Amino acid sequence: MIVIDDIIKRFGSLRALSGVSLTFSRGQCVALLGPNGSGKTTLIKSILGMVVPDSGTINFNGQSISDKWAYREKLGYMPQIGRYPENMTITNVINMMKDIRKDHKIKLDEELIESFGLNNMLQKKMRTLSGGTTQKVSASLAFLFNPDVLILDEPTAGLDPLASEVLKQKILKEKQNGKVIIITSHVLSELDDLITEVVYMQEGSLIFHKKLAALKEETGEEKLSNAITKIMKANHHA
C-alpha cells in the first residue's frame, strides 16, 4: 500500500534519512523503532508530505505522492506534539476538520471522542488544555475520518494509563479492520500485543524490517523490549 524507495533527506549538513526503502501493506501493524534522532519522525512526515525528501520516491496505492494531496484523505495522523490554533475550542477544531474534509462521503468515527470523555470539555480552548488532553484530541482527529492508514507518532506519551488502554483497544480494533497502522513508541512493553512487524532505524538508515515473530525467534527473547535491547546493545558495541 505504501512503498518507500530510497529516500534521502538532509537538514543542512545533517543526514536525517540516508536512503531508506520500505514497504507497508494492508493489515500490517508496524512498530517504527530506533534511538532518538534516528529519523523516525522525518520518515513519517515524508509519508504525510510535510517534509519533502531530497531524492527518492514514495508511492501510495501505486501513485507517487510528490505534489499530490488527495491521497491524504486516506491517512490519519497523530503527531508527537500536536499543535493547534490556540484560540479555538475543541469543538472548533473538530468542526473545522470535519468541514475541510466533509465533501467526501465517509462515515465519521467519533468513538474516541466519546471514550476519552472529551465531550465534557468541548468548549475549552486549545491553549488551556494539558499535554495529555491535547494528545487525546490528536488521537480523536486521527481516527475521526476512518482512514485506511493510521500513522501514530508516540501515541501514548503523555496519556494516563486509562486513556492509554482506551487507545490501545482502539488500535487493536482498527488493525482487525485491515488497516495499515504505523506506530513509533519508546514504550516497548505496550507494543507487544499490538504489532505484527518491526522496523528498526538508526542514524537515518534502515537496520531491519522483520516480522515480530521472526525477530523473537532470532533473538530468543519472549518480549519485544528484551529483543530490542539486545539489538541496541549489539549495535552499540559494534
CB of 217 to other proteins, least distance (A): 37
DSSP structural state of residue 219: H
Q: Which listed residue (12, 13, 36, 69) binds other proteins by CB under 8 A?
A: 69
Binding mask 15-54 for other proteins (x = CB under 8 A): ------------------------------x--xxxxx--
d(CA 41, CA 22): 15
For residue 12, state whether it binds other proteins (rule: CB under 8 A): no
Spatial CB neighbours of 191, under 8 Å, sequence gap ≥ 6: 31, 183, 185, 224
Q: Which listed residue (14, 26, 70, 218) binds other proteins by CB under 8 A?
A: 70
Q: Which listed residue (2, 34, 72, 164) binds other proteins by CB under 8 A?
A: 72
Q: Which listed residue (6, 14, 27, 86) binds other proteins by CB under 8 A?
A: 86
d(CA 76, CA 153): 11
**E strand residue ranges, the chain:** 2-11, 14-24, 29-33, 55-60, 63-64, 75-78, 149-153, 180-184, 197-202, 205-211
Query: Which among 180, 186, 183 has a CA at the least distance from the CA of 167?
Result: 183
Q: How many residues bind other proteins (CB under 8 A)?
A: 28
Residues that bind other proteins (CB under 8 A): 11, 45, 48-52, 67, 69-73, 75, 77, 79, 83-87, 93, 96-97, 99-101, 104
